[in-house]
Structure 1
Amino acid sequence: MNAQTPPLHQRTRGSADVVMAGGRLKRLYTQGSAKAIPLTGARPEVVFLNTSGGLTGGDRLSFALQTDSDTTATTQTAERAYRASEGTAQMSVSLDISHGRLDWLPQETILFDRSALRRHTRISLGPQAECLLLEAIVLGRAAMGETVRDFTLTDRREILRAGKPVLVEPLKMHGGTLTGPATLQGARAFASIALVAQGAEDALGPVRATLNEPGVRGAASAFDGKLTLRLIAADGWPLRRQIARLVSVLRPANTGSLPRVWQI
């Protein structure tokens, strides 16, 4: 008797590519589960979303944006990485700004037990361009009683100027190794924020003064036009509140604290 061939599972494929010029939409291409919604205004926003509702092993998702002026990019909701029975979900984010400032402020990524995600985020800056970069991770949903014991996350963030690295943050994590003092010490939510801009060091004092949200621990440093922050929290909700307060300090006064699709 011949052994049965394991069934092939359907996998998500999606890509969204947006080109803005002078604050106006010049090109919009979407394929599969990836979508993008440009919102016009004094400061344009581009909202990316994954209509499949989440990622699992073997899925592929990519977002891309090219702009030449001040722009904010975000995601419509939290991305979810579900249990992967086979393979690894892969996600890529490619953002390019020639002039002005780009704020990449996606909502958090929720990792479920036995998920496997590999993500690469690259921001390319013009000679005088600036950017604000956020990435937040939540291990399961505390309100649903979920516990994440086993997962794999490979997350690489790069900011380049004229093709040369300005900031590179590689991260690789496995479940079961997160209780020590060098990792999360039992926290289930964490985030990184980076500002690359002329005079970024000037924001260090106000940022440190804002690191007082109950239930969240954080630290910040700044040097040579770069400011970086690390945050950990017992749950995603206090982390989100702390992020909102920090972003309001790090964004220009006329832009508001968060993108319009965020809810606090």
Structure 2
Amino acid sequence: MFAPALPQPLEPLLPDYVRADGGVRLRFGRVGPRTMRLELAESGGYRARFPTAYDERCEAVLINTAGGMAGGDRAVTRIALDPGARAVVTTQAAEKIYRSQGSQTRVETRIEVGAGAELAWLPQETILFSGSRLSRSLDVALAADAGFIAAETLYFGRSAMGESLARGLLHDRWRIRREGRLIFAEDLRLDGAIDAALGRKAVGQGARAAATVFVAGPGQPDKLSGIRAVIDGDPAFAAVEAGAGILDGFLLIRLLSPDAQALRRALVMLLGHVIGRALPRTWST
């Protein structure tokens, strides 16, 4: 069972000062042959931990100690890579967006990747609860030869509990620039009866989970045929609609499925091909 939809008040029922507002700021740089964390700032209930890495990359795991976010909460993540640095940033677990009393939950991610640097931004899925109101943004600034991989996943309700998103808000905004030039811009907005909107053939055709994978860096057009072969031939995609294409030199992959766990299995397998290495351990625990 889940709580029924409530009318949204004009003013939030809880004042701003009792809401969570925090985040993490990270900067990575080369120290000899390895990438190390050079700066770390944590605020609110947000933390970053750094598992031991066995190659030149540095891995960071972001943690929300509150275990989820509600209406009026705000989280800001800032990540910067100095020239030549290589890093992977993920999250400890899925982020839960709980029912709102009217205010939006705000999640902001701002990333800068310097010359010759490479970042894999791999947060685990975001789960939207019935009545949630999420405004999320991803702003990325890339140097001319920087490499960048991003994977963002959304689960629309908790299907295992029979939950539907009869009411809610999702505004997902991406802006990615290379040398100051905008190369990718996207705004997704679903407001009101999200389940009904996703049921339309031109929108989601009944999807309960969706993922976007963005890959920028040298040689992406050469990888397209291999990625499409995986999508078309691997059994993990039997219950997943997926497509891949090249736009302005970067690779863009979309996944949709009525089964959230099927989408996750397909995404894990796909990211292994895209990244060329095992995913962070938090993805399998």
Note whether the superposition's TM-score is higher than 0.5: yes
Q: Does 1:120 align with 2:120?
A: no
Q: Which residue of 2 aligns with 1:197?
A: 217
Residue by residue over 1:169-210, the C-alpha shift from the partner in whole angstroms, topping out at 9 and shown as x without a partner, is 211112132211111111100111111111111111111112
Give 1:40 deviation, angstroms: 4.3
Question: Cα–Cα, structure 1 residues 70 and 7, in superposed 2: closer, same or farther, change >3 Å?
Answer: closer
Q: What are the equivalent positions in structure 2 for 1:185-264 lying under 5 Å apart?
A: 185-211=205-231, 212=234, 213-252=237-276, 255-256=277-278, 258-263=279-284
User: Aligned partner of 2:133: which letter?
Assistant: A
* Helix, strand or coil at the partner of 2:281: coil
Measured in 2, the distance between the counterparts of 1:166 and 1:234 equals: 30
Deviation at 1:117, TM superposition (A): 0.5
The answer to whether 1:45 aligns with 2:66 is no
SS across alignment from 2:151:
strand
| Alignment match, 1:183 | 203
**SS of residue matched to 1:240:** helix
Which stretch has the larger CA shift, 55-64 or 141-150?
A: 141-150
The CA distance in 2 between the partners of 1:64 and 1:39, in whole Å, is: 19
Cα distance in structure 1, aligned partners of 2:37 and 2:199: 46
1:103-144, Cα deviation, whole Å (9 max, x unpaired): 111100000111000011112111210111111100122222
**Are 1:152 and 2:169 counterparts?**
yes
Within 2, Cα distance between the matches of 1:100 and 1:88?
Answer: 34
Query: Do structure 1's residue 136 and structure 2's residue 136 form an aligned pair?
Result: no
How far is the alpha carbon of 1:234 from its aligned partner? 1.1
Shift of 1:62: 0.8
User: More helix per residue: 1 or 2?
Assistant: 2
SS in 2 for 1:39: coil
State the secondary structure of the residue aligned to 1:248: helix
Matching residue within 62, 68, 77 for 2:76: 62
Distance in 2 between residues matched to 1:66 and 1:235, nearest whole Å: 35
CA distance in 2, matches of 1:73, 1:168: 22
Amino acid at match of 2:68: G
Q: 1:40 to 1:127 in 2, by over 3 A?
A: farther
Question: 1:91-130, aligned counterparts within 5 Å?
Answer: 91-98=107-114, 99-130=116-147
Number of aligned residue pairs: give it. 257
Q: Once structures 1 and 2 are overlaid, which stretch shifts more, 107-116 or 6-15?
A: 6-15
What do residues 11-54 of structure 1 show as CA deviations (whole Å, max 9, x unaligned)?
11111111111111211110111111133422211111211111
TM-score by length of 1: 0.92
Amino acid at match of 1:89: T
Aligned with 1:177: secondary structure? helix
31-40 or 107-116, which deviates more: 31-40
Q: Which residue of 2 aligns with 1:166?
A: 183
Report deviation, 1:218.
0.8
Segments of 4+ moved more than 4 angstroms: none
**Could you list the per-position Cα deviations for residues 206-236 of structure 1 after superposition, in whole angstroms to 9, with x for gaps in the alignment?**
1111214121111111144211111111121
Query: Relative to structure 1, is the Cα distance of residues 7 and 223 closer, same or farther in structure 2, using a 3 angstrom cutoff?
Result: closer
Q: CA deviation at 1:7?
A: 5.6
SS of equivalent to 1:210: helix
Q: Which deviates the most, 213-222 or 157-166?
A: 157-166
What SS does the aligned partner of 2:282 have?
coil
